[in-house]
RNA sequence: GUGGGCGUCGCCUAGCGGUUAAGGCGCCAGGUUGUGGCCCUGGAGACCGAGGGUUCGAAUCCCUCCGCUCACCCCA
């Protein structure tokens, strides 16, 4: 027997309403905010991710599904959504469109990780990117959209963590002083942090190890070592968020796991206990497009994990809007009636009325049992009596009232009953 | 990559050295002639994760592997 690959999951019918709901709400909101849908391939050239996400990040170093195709091309299953969108922006000359170009996507994401609660090797993100505008009001818009998404989905207790990690003008100096601060402490740090000190000092700040925490807490804050432009940007963003009424926590230890971020970084975290502390995250990436060979173009974006959204919705007991299926079950008694019943099902479907039937030569009892199990509201019964009279019996399952209806009037009668209109 | 927990019908669970491996849910069928839900009866469905061992005898004890799961790491 085969079972699905580790870290993947089947989304079975009972769970589909959650997915549909999240996608509907997200899609509606994105459009409401003026974002347009984009879909990019499931795999891209490996270099696209290595160059943007960054060597030294976990994603690139150990989590990518990389392979060679039969032509020798080096490809990687998309481990994140932003780089492909930027690639598409450049490739299709979107800088000729009115700026900023605002795009959203739903995409499967692949990372070779050990699976655990809320973490998979294939998961799905809804994300949005606004490319071609540096104004902090755009950062605020993206954050507003992200925040609104959780609110509209009914999630409660979310917290918005916000930080600025500076730009190429001010970050190097900050990193230098950060390293200078940490260097004397090196012997006291965990192994990972000792490596971070050399490879990616910013990440020293979000080490979760108890031994390292105090140092991170005391460390210099990037947001206090910003250049004038970055400081103004950050302050302006905070003012904008305040005007939007979006509550945020300044978190100077927030850095993100991808190298391309500049200035604004943010994460949304659920209050609930559990290992997965992030439900969505994003930030500004003003150097990314240029790094990919486009002309210098500022941008900001956000992505959130659909599985984690659904996980939190379930934890919080959020009910979905009921979606009753209006299906009519056509049952029959006898072989002649069976032929007629199957014809009737086809006719109803053509008339726009959802209809099903049993397929086998089942007893009427078995058919009605099936109708009941499927939770249909109406059953039609077609037997010799009905055939003789050119009619069918319409049975309302709840309550069990039934009446004869002239065959010719069936569609209109059902339309009226099922959909409440004629 | 590192730890902890767990693997018995589709799902949940009992059995913990000798049972035809049990029960509940679900599924299928029947309970008079063409009628669901409740109830009753019957049926299908498990070589007890896999492979080794110990033993007269193993789902039950031991070992190895595999899988799932939670946590670390990292992230969505």
H helix runs in A267-334, sequence order: 288-291, 306-315
The pLDDT of A90-96, averaged and rounded, is 97
From the list A86, A121, A157, the residue with the least C-alpha distance to A299 is A86
| pLDDT score recorded for residue A272 | 66
Task: pLDDT band for A95, please (50, 70, 90 cuts).
Answer: very high
Dump pLDDT digits (tens) for A313-362.
988 888 786 665 668 999 999 889 999 999 999 999 999 999 999 988 88
Nucleotides, chain B, CB distance < 7 Å = 1-3, 26-31, 33-37, 67-76
DSSP string of A137-204? HHHHHHHHHHHHHHHHHT--S-EEEEEE---TTTHHHHHHHHHHHHGGGGGGS-HHHHHHHHH-GGGG
Nucleotide nearest to A399 (CA to C1'): B37
Which neighbouring-strand residues pair with A75? A45, A67
Q: Are A250 and A242 in contact (CB under 8 A)?
A: no
Task: pLDDT band for A269, please (50, 70, 90 cuts).
Answer: very high
pLDDT at A11 over 60: yes
| pLDDT score recorded for residue A320 | 81
Dump pLDDT digits (tens) for A110-127.
999 999 989 999 999 999
Residue A149 CA distance to nucleotide B44 C1' (Å): 48
A254 vs A206: CA distance, rounded Å: 7
pLDDT at A18 over 90: yes
Pairing of strands A402-406, A391-396: antiparallel
CB of A366 within 7 Å of some strand B atom = yes
A153 vs A144: CA distance, rounded Å: 14
| pLDDT score recorded for residue A388 | 93
pLDDT at A132 over 80: yes
Q: Are A348 and A386 in contact (CB under 8 A)?
A: no
Dump pLDDT digits (tens) for A222-249.
888 899 999 999 999 999 999 999 999 9
A221 vs A174: CA distance, rounded Å: 9
Three-state SS at A291: helix
From the list A250, A52, A264, A281, the residue with the least C-alpha distance to A166 is A264
CB of A120 within 7 Å of some strand B atom = yes
Task: pLDDT band for A37, please (50, 70, 90 cuts).
Answer: very high
Largest CA-CA distance found in chain A, in angstroms, rounded: 97
pLDDT at A364 over 80: yes
- Total Cβ atoms within 10 A of residue A69: 9
CA A59 to chain centre: 19
pLDDT at A61 over 60: yes
CB of A136 within 7 Å of some strand B atom = no
- Total Cβ atoms within 10 A of residue A218: 10
- Residue % of chain A over a pLDDT of 90: 65
Mean pLDDT of chain A: 90
Q: Are A281 and A302 in contact (CB under 8 A)?
A: yes
CB of A115 within 7 Å of some strand B atom = yes
CB of A113 within 7 Å of some strand B atom = yes
pLDDT at A422 over 60: no
| pLDDT score recorded for residue A189 | 78
Residue A364, Cβ density class (10 Å: 0-12 exposed, 13-18 middle, ≥19 buried): middle
Does the predicted interface ipTM exceed a cut of 0.90?
no
Residues 155-174 of chain A within 7 A of strand B, judged by CB, are none
The pLDDT of A277-287, averaged and rounded, is 93
A57 vs A256: CA distance, rounded Å: 10
Question: What are the structural domains of chain A?
Answer: 13-170+226-315 (3.30.930.10), 328-416 (3.40.50.800)
Contacts of residue A121, defined as CB under 8 A and 6 or more positions apart, other chains included, come to A5, A6, A7, A8, A110, A111, A112, A113, A115
Which strand (E) or helix (H) includes residue A125? Answer: strand A122-131
Pairing of strands A378-382, A391-396: antiparallel
Buried b (16+ CB within 10 A) or exposed e, A256-277: bbbbbbbbbbbbbbbebeeebe
| pLDDT score recorded for residue A262 | 93
A283 vs A262: CA distance, rounded Å: 7
Contacts of residue A379, defined as CB under 8 A and 6 or more positions apart, other chains included, come to A328, A329, A330, A331, A367, A368, A371, A394, A395, A397
Q: Are A35 and A45 in contact (CB under 8 A)?
A: no
Residues 248-277 of chain A within 7 A of strand B, judged by CB, are 256-258, 267, 274-277
Residues 24-63 of chain A within 7 A of strand B, judged by CB, are 57-59, 63
Residues 179-238 of chain A within 7 A of strand B, judged by CB, are 192, 203, 206-209
From the list A19, A43, A27, the residue with the least C-alpha distance to A308 is A19
In order of A113, A116, A198, A379, the CA distances from A209 in angstroms are 20, 20, 18, 63
Dump pLDDT digits (tens) for A158-215.
999 999 999 988 888 888 888 888 888 877 777 777 777 777 788 888 777 777 777 7
| pLDDT score recorded for residue A307 | 94
């Amino acid at each position: 027997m085969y079972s699905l690959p580790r870290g993947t999951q089947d989304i079975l019918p009972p769970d589909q309403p959650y997915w549909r709901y999240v996608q509907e709400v997200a899609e509606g909101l994105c459009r409401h905010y003026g974002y347009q849908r984009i879909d990019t391939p499931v795999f891209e050239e490996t270099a696209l991710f290595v160059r943007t996400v960054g060597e030294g990040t976990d994603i690139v170093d150990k989590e990518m599904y990389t392979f060679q195709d039969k032509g020798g091309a080096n490809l990687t299953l998309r481990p994140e959504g932003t780089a492909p969108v930027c690639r598409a922006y450049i490739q299709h000359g979107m800088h000729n469109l009115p700026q900023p170009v605002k795009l959203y996507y739903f995409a499967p994401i692949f990372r070779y990780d050990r699976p655990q609660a809320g973490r998979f090797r294939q998961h799905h993100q809804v994300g949005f990117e606004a490319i071609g505008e540096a104004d902090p009001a755009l950062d605020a818009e993206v954050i507003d959209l992200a925040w609104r998404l959780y609110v509209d989905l009914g999630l409660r207790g979310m917290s918005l963590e916000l930080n600025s990690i500076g730009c190429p003008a001010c970050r190097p100096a900050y990193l230098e002083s950060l390293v200078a601060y940490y260097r004397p402490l090196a012997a006291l740090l965990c192994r990972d942090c000792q490596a971070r000190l050399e490879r990616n000092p910013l990440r020293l700040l979000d080490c979760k190890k108890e031994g390292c925490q105090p140092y991170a807490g005391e460390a210099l804050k990037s947001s206090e070592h910003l250049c004038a432009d970055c400081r103004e940007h950050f302050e302006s963003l905070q003012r904008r968020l305040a005007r939007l009424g979006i509550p945020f926590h300044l978190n100077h230890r927030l850095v993100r796991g991808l190298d391309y971020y500049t200035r604004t970084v943010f994460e949304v975290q659920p209050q609930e206990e559990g290992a997965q502390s992030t439900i969505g995250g994003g930030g500004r990436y003003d150097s990314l497009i240029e790094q990919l060979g486009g002309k210098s173009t500022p941008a900001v974006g956000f992505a959130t994990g659909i599985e984690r959204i659904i996980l939190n919705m379930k934890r919080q007991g959020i009910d979905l809007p009921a979606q009753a299926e209006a299906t009519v079950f056509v049952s029959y008694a006898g072989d002649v009636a069976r032929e007629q019943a199957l014809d009737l099902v086809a006719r109803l479907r053509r008339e726009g009325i959802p209809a099903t039937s049993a397929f086998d030569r089942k007893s009427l009892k078995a058919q009605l049992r099936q109708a009941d199990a499927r939770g249909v509201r109406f059953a039609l019964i077609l037997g010799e009596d009905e055939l003789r009279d050119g009619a069918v019996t319409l049975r309302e399952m709840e309550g069990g009232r039934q009446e004869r209806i002239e065959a010719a009037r069936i569609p209109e009668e059902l339309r009226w009953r099922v959909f409440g209109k004629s």
